[in-house]
Structure 1
Amino acid sequence: MSVHTGRKAVITGGTHGMGLAIAKALVAGGAEVLVTGRNEKNIEEAKAALGVDAHVVRSDAADLGAIDALGRTVEERLGHVDHLFVNAGTAVLEPLQFVTEESYDRQFGLNTKGAFFVVQRLVPLVRDGGSIVFTSSIADHGGTPGMSVYSGTKAALISFTQVFAAELLPRNIRVNAVSPGFIDTPSMGIPGLSAEEKAGFMALGDEITPMKRHGQVDEVARAALYLAVDATYTTGARLPVDGGLGQGLSYPQQ
């Protein structure tokens, strides 16, 4: 029997990047998964990558009507959920003076409001003893220029993690968060980057990260699955997956 046989999971934002890596690991372990996404190309590629044991659903994680419809779809296709991964998110890097109402609302609408109401809608379907894992960011604490709005959205997720963990104790549902640093994903979490901009962003990450490299999506997936499945005495926690960047480490001089 595979390690995840009989388990059922939902991953929002699961059609590419870190979410898709989580889905692949669960399917490989025998789980039945439902993933959501909006981009048609990503949806079709996820269907091919995940195969018949996955339900790939087009859904806007920032739209409350779509979130309610997602709840009905999960009920119909899965019935219940063992593990919920709240992974959908976006980033716009803008200094304070350039932030617009549109970019502010877009980031808070998906990263924060959408995340909250996804949990509210789906938590009745999560089995007692199940788990919820948020994908946050190293930017959820500290002060990085150009990331005020994005950082605020992710800081809110850590508060959600801790409060939901307390509220769901009577059902023994554990709630935790992973906080990735520079991870090699198709968009690096910032839609619209050119190939040159992505290369520059990755080079910056390699320079300032103590481990002197960017992370891989599989490394984030393993951390998220640890929190979801194996960390049975852990709730309300934030697990950095950042190569030491958020821990104040310095690369030793040779």
Structure 2
Amino acid sequence: MAKLSGKVAVITGATSGLALATAKLFVAEGAHVVITGRRQEQLDAAVAAIGHEVTGVVGDVGEVAHVVRLADVVAAELGRVDVLVASAGAWTWNERIGDVTEESFDAVFGVNVRGTFFTVQKLLPLLSDGASIVLIGSGAAEKGDPGTTIYAASKAALRSFARTWTTDLKERGIRVNVLSPAAIDTPAFANLPPGFRDQIASLVPLGRLGAEREIATAALFLASVDSSFVSGIDLPVDGGIGQV
């Protein structure tokens, strides 16, 4: 039997990359997915790529009113949420402490921390007892790489959320976990300096970059009954780069 047969999953920021791969896999495993994105054109393309059992809701999780609208759509059309993957994220590249501006700080924390918090809060009344919440973190939260001061801190906050929400929601049996990718081969590498992709791959103990589907399968594990006794963890999926 499919691992998510009959389940309703909400995945934020799922118009590309890891989250889109996750949405496709969840549908293949029997779920109906609700995906969000900030741009209607990209959202429509993602819905078309998934093909069936998908609902697209345009919106920015950094805007609470948009999250409320998302909850209203899910309530009206599907009635419940069994799996919530908070994947929408923002980042800055190579911004050291002296370079951080109020605007860049607010942009990253507004989506990664504030947006994640209110996404979970506003969808909480729709979550089934025994539901799974997966927060998409980052291996950067465990490192001290230069230029990641705001992004890394914002992802570290998700680790704290998973701990406190695990205890806050224990009476309902709702599991909360963090999934932290690192060294994954995504289109974002195309925007980075030449040679950066190969440099990162050379640092991975497994000798390669990870694939988007490898994050999707880890998310499926945390979303499904396979992880029924797993809660409050941070699961690194990084080829060992952050572990040794």
Taking structure 2 as the reference length, the TM-score comes to 0.95
Alignment check: 8 A CA contact 2:39 2:59 kept: no
User: What residue is the counterpart of 1:244 in the other structure?
Assistant: 240
User: What residue is the counterpart of 2:187 in the other structure?
Assistant: 186
Identity of aligned residues (%): 43
The worse-fitting range, judged by mean Cα deviation, of 136-145 and 149-158 is 136-145
Show CA shifts across 1:109-135 (max 9, x none): 000100000000001111001110000
1:231 pairs with 2:232: no
Alignment check: 8 A CA contact 1:187 1:198 kept: no
User: What residue is the counterpart of 2:162 in the other structure?
Assistant: 161
SS at match of 1:36: strand
SS at match of 1:111: helix
Q: 1:212 to 1:57 in 2, by over 3 A?
A: same
Following superposition, the deviation at residue 199 of structure 1 comes to 4.8
Distance 2:193 2:11 in 1: 25
Instruction: Spell out the pairing of 1:1-254 with structure 2 (5 A cutoff).
Output: 2-93=2-93, 94-188=95-189, 194=191, 197=192, 199-229=194-224, 230-248=226-244
Following superposition, the deviation at residue 210 of structure 1 comes to 1.6
Q: 1:181 to 1:78 in 2, by over 3 A?
A: same
Distance 1:225 1:95 in 2: 35
Following superposition, the deviation at residue 214 of structure 1 comes to 1.2
Distance 1:231 1:198 in 2: 38
Alignment check: 8 A CA contact 2:4 2:26 kept: yes
Alignment check: 8 A CA contact 2:83 2:132 kept: yes
Distance 1:200 1:106 in 2: 28
Show CA shifts across 1:65-96 (max 9, x none): 11111110110121001100000002102111
How many pairs were matched up?
A: 242
Alignment check: 8 A CA contact 1:211 1:244 kept: yes
The worse-fitting range, judged by mean Cα deviation, of 107-116 and 67-76 is 67-76
Supply the AA of the counterpart residue of 1:174.
Answer: R
Distance 2:42 2:185 in 1: 16
Q: 1:199 to 1:223 in 2, by over 3 A?
A: farther
Distance 1:81 1:217 in 2: 24
SS at match of 2:176: strand
Alignment check: 8 A CA contact 1:37 1:43 kept: yes
Give the 4+ runs in structure 1 shifted more than 4 A: none
Supply the AA of the counterpart residue of 2:231.
Answer: T
Supply the AA of the counterpart residue of 1:241.
Answer: V
Distance 1:117 1:131 in 2: 16
Alignment check: 8 A CA contact 2:61 2:67 kept: yes
Following superposition, the deviation at residue 4 of structure 1 comes to 2.1
User: What residue is the counterpart of 1:252 in the other structure?
Assistant: none
Following superposition, the deviation at residue 225 of structure 1 comes to 1.1
Q: 1:22 to 1:98 in 2, by over 3 A?
A: same
Distance 2:77 2:108 in 1: 30
